Amino acid sequence: MGHDHGSELSGVQRRVRALESVLVEKGYVDPAALDALIETYETKVGPHNGARVVAKAWSDPEYRAWLLADGSAAIASLGYAGRQGEQIVALENTPEVHNLVVCTLCSCYPWPVLGLPPVWYKSAPYRSRAVADPRGVLREFGVELPADTEVRVWDSTAEVRYLVLPMRPADTDGWGEEALAALVSRDAMIGTGLARA
Amino acid sequence: MGGMHGFGPVEPEPDEPPFHADWERRVFALTLAMGATGEWNLDASRFARESQAPGAYLGETYYEVWLAGLERLLADRGLVAPEELAEGRSLAPPRPLARRLEAEAVAPTLRRGGPTVRATERPARFGVGDRVRAREMNPRTHTRLPRYVRGHAGEVVAVLGCHVFPDVHAHGGGEDPQWLYTVRFGARELWGEAADPAAAVSVDAFEPYLEPA
């Protein structure tokens, strides 16, 4: 799949306009529902949700244990649930094990906690190589792991979605959850990045 | 496409927005809204996107793939004719739909999602720690078993419950729920002696994909 985003393709713009016109004219879609769908994923749902989950897990050992035992329930307790996150498994990064999430078949991704996936996650380079050369892919993200750190790649092939719980950076003792959440990038929760120190 | 070569480096984009053009927003919303009508299910939708000719699929951007999938589903179900898309207007009366996604139903519908886990009386065939082999299979129809694990042996590391089986559900055969397992394969098992000895790849595999190893 091409990984340029193709915004300059006016042929596609015309095709989409024609499609939307026909669907609205036939009454198959409610135009206001289309706007509500777009607004949800542009403004409400995004990686700030997942960052809150991670910050809470770093701050609260009981919540951390719950998150690792039953990700869906622990995440839903913060208000994040539903489409493309019906069943979420949290994966704990440690000095011994680094987790990396991919969907080689398409683009499966935990929407309620991370929003919509970035273009690179859906691109052929990432999908083809994350499973066969995870350390090489991580290097392209500027992440160099010790050679004896085990790399576990999770290919999201069914409806279970994966969220990486990154390691808490050193020297953050006593930080509040809001300050901690600011250290948690989207990539850290996919496994292509680390939480910022 | 797991394991294929030649696609080049991964190119992350700093501060990437959710959409890169207005038409991408529209395709995204139209796909979700039409999916909510119940005229097809998510597995059928994925099959429509992924079963395009490989050359076309690889040449399209992500939302172009969605667009092609939606156009195909609408044509296959007799909801929108190709001539209507060409002219950009309706040329025939609409077909009645079971339901339509209204604006006020968007939030609760997204919140509810589409859980695929199902109760079953049937015991799981495999347990955590079991050695299993992914079957050699090569269906023309929908499947979620990646090609790169077929024929390889791994270990069950989680039993994820009994779920709607996409291979059957995508083609109108009902839900046919099957046990779902996370199976971990060593990188050397999948990619050979040159692979990283400290790497492993897990896939979520339905029971019919697996046999004892």
Sign of the dihedral through C-alpha A167, A42, A36, B43? negative
Question: Which residue has better confidence, A3 or A21?
Answer: A21
Average pLDDT over residues B50-78: 96
Domain assignment of residue B174, yes or no: yes
pLDDT of A10 reads 80
CB-CB contact of A119 with A2 (8 Å): no
Domain assignment of residue B159, yes or no: yes
Structure letter (DSSP) for residue B11: -
Q: Mind listing the pLDDT tens digit for each residue in A39-82?
A: 999 999 999 999 999 999 999 999 999 999 999 999 999 999 99
Average pLDDT, chain B: 97
Instruction: Based on the residue annotation, tell me whether A7 is a catalytic residue of this protein.
Output: no
**A6, pLDDT greater than 90:** no
Q: How buried is residue B121: exposed, middle or buried, by Cβ count under 10 Å (0-12/13-18/19+)? A: exposed
User: Domain containing B106: what range?
Assistant: 22-112
pLDDT of A196 reads 87
Average pLDDT over residues B23-50: 97
Question: What domain count does chain B have?
Answer: 2
Instruction: Based on the residue annotation, tell me whether A106 is a catalytic residue of this protein.
Output: yes
> Given B79, B112, B145, which residue is the final one in a domain?
B112
Domain assignment of residue B125, yes or no: no
pLDDT of B16 reads 94
pLDDT of A5 reads 54
CATH number at residue B154: 2.30.30.50
The reply to whether B138 and B204 lie within a common domain is yes
Distant-in-sequence, close-in-space partners of A11: CB < 8 Å, separation ≥ 6? none
Q: Which helix (H) or strand (E) holds B179?
A: strand B178-186
Alpha carbon of A30 to those of A46, B67, B74, B173: distances in Å? 24, 18, 17, 30
Average pLDDT over residues B10-15: 92
Instruction: Based on the residue annotation, tell me whether A108 is a catalytic residue of this protein.
Output: yes
Q: Do A155 and B58 touch (CB under 8 A)?
A: no
CB-CB contact of A47 with A117 (8 Å): no
Average pLDDT over residues A120-126: 97
CB-CB contact of B32 with A39 (8 Å): no
Q: Do A119 and B59 touch (CB under 8 A)?
A: no
Of the residues A77, A107, A123, A185, which is catalytic? A107
The reply to whether B181 and B147 lie within a common domain is yes
Q: Which helix (H) or strand (E) holds B189?
A: helix B187-191
Q: Mind listing the pLDDT tens digit for each residue in B73-124?
A: 999 999 999 999 999 999 999 999 999 999 999 999 999 999 999 999 999 9
Average pLDDT over residues B138-154: 97
Structure letter (DSSP) for residue B90: -
CB-CB contact of B40 with B69 (8 Å): no
CATH number at residue B70: 1.10.472.20
DSSP string covering A100-168, please? EEE-SSS----HHHH-SPPHHHHSHHHHHHTTT-HHHHHHHTT----TTSEEEEEE--SSEEEEEEPPP
> Which among A13, A34, A187 is the top mutation candidate for probing chain B, defined by the most B β-carbons within 10 Å of its own β-carbon?
A34
**B173, pLDDT greater than 60:** yes
pLDDT of A4 reads 53
Domain assignment of residue B138, yes or no: yes
Of the residues A108, A123, A128, A185, which is catalytic? A108
**A174, pLDDT greater than 70:** yes
Q: Mind listing the pLDDT tens digit for each residue in A99-114?
A: 999 999 999 999 999 9
pLDDT of B38 reads 95
**A167, pLDDT greater than 80:** yes
The reply to whether B106 and B139 lie within a common domain is no
Out of B24, B117, B191, closest to residue A87 by CB: B117
The reply to whether B90 and B164 lie within a common domain is no
| Residues from chain B contacting residue A21 (CB–CB below 8 Å) | 88-89
- The structure tokens 């299979």 sit at B137
The reply to whether B99 and B47 lie within a common domain is yes
Out of B90, B106, B113, closest to residue A40 by CB: B106
Residue B64 in contact with partner chain A when CB distance is under 8 A: yes
Of the residues A106, A123, A156, A185, which is catalytic? A106
ipTM for the complex shown: 0.97
Q: Which residues pair with B179 in a beta bridge?
A: B162
Say how far apart CA B43 and CA B148 lie, in whole Å.
21
CB-CB contact of B181 with B132 (8 Å): yes
The reply to whether B136 and B205 lie within a common domain is yes
Domain assignment of residue B1, yes or no: no
Q: Mind listing the pLDDT tens digit for each residue in B112-124?
A: 999 999 999 999 9
Average pLDDT over residues B125-131: 98
**A8, pLDDT greater than 60:** no
> Which among B16, B50, B61 is the top mutation candidate for probing chain A, defined by the most A β-carbons within 10 Å of its own β-carbon?
B61
